[in-house]
Amino acid sequence: MNRTTFEHGLYGRLKQEAGHHWQAYIHHDFVRQLAAGTLPDGAFRRYLVQDYLFLIHFARAYALLAYKLRTLPEIRAAVVSLEAIVKELPMHVAYCAQWGLREEEMAKEPEASETLTYTRYVLDIGQSGDVLDLLVALIPCVAGYAEIGQRLRDDPATVLAGNPYAEWIQNYSDGDYLSGARAAIDQLERVGLARGAEQRFDALSAIFTTATRLESAFWQMGLTPHPTVIAV
């Protein structure tokens, strides 16, 4: 996926409308410290635990998306995304194990307020709105991580040699992940055309910007010291 893909169509317009909120998300200090290899390991471990809990609710959101869609091709596309998250969880768990985090311990960890706020917001949008509303609420995470991963991979200032977070950067700049993000953006464009995105743009933009702000808050949550992070 080339960088210009991130600027086109409905997704590109939503990003542009989000303005400084989008920039704050993709250039957050958490991301900068990841790229430099200077992020405190406690901050990263807290993020990993909450991301595990987050992914469970995002799987629920994609299951809801599949339920709300009506044509078989659309349902298949949603199921592919759901399967990708379900398959990602064991990989996430294996990666967390490298940081001394066991799944049974992560599952018992309380959800941070940022995790609760973000995931329940997405699920509420899915319950109260239609499939386009839900896709717009989901896309900042899926495509935003691809954009961040690709940007960090291509930035000569990013430290990979000896960086404890190099594998994370490589995971989100990997061709398979970028292809999944492309599919999610393509699905957003198709559904947007079919369900009047142009006439609803202001409302969709509000959803997208809110989800973007919640992404920034999720990064910040990782930087905030918290005593309940599982100890090694």
The answer to whether 6 and 193 are in contact (CB under 8 A) is no
Task: Tell me how far apart the alpha carbons of residues 36 and 176 are, in angstroms, rounded to a whole number.
Answer: 24
Give the pLDDT confidence of 97-126 residue by residue, as tens digits: 999 999 999 999 999 999 999 999 999 999
The DSSP code for 129 is S
Residue 128: CB atoms within 10 A of its CB come to: 9
Percent of the chain with pLDDT over 70: 94
Q: What is the mean pLDDT of residues 132-142?
A: 96
What span, in angstroms and rounded, lies between the C-alpha atoms of 31 and 84?
23
pLDDT tens column, 173-205: 999 888 888 989 999 999 999 999 999 999 999
**pLDDT reported for residue 230:** 60
Q: What distance in Å separates the CA atoms of residue 136 and residue 224, rounded to the nearest whole number? A: 28
pLDDT band at residue 10, thresholds of 50, 70 and 90? very high
Contact 77, 183 (CB under 8 A): yes
**Dist CA 13 CA 132 (whole Å):** 15
User: What predicted TM-score, i.e. pTM, was given to this entire model?
Assistant: 0.91
Per-residue model confidence (pLDDT) at position 20: 97
Rounded (10°) CA dihedral 124, 128, 133, 134: 40
Annotated active-site positions, please? 141, 215
Q: List the one residue out of 18, 56, 17, 78 whose CA is nearest residue 215.
A: 18
pLDDT of residue 37: 97
**What is the amino acid identity at position 64?**
L
- pLDDT value of residue 54: 95
Token readout for 151 is 């940007």
Longest dimension (CA), the chain: 52
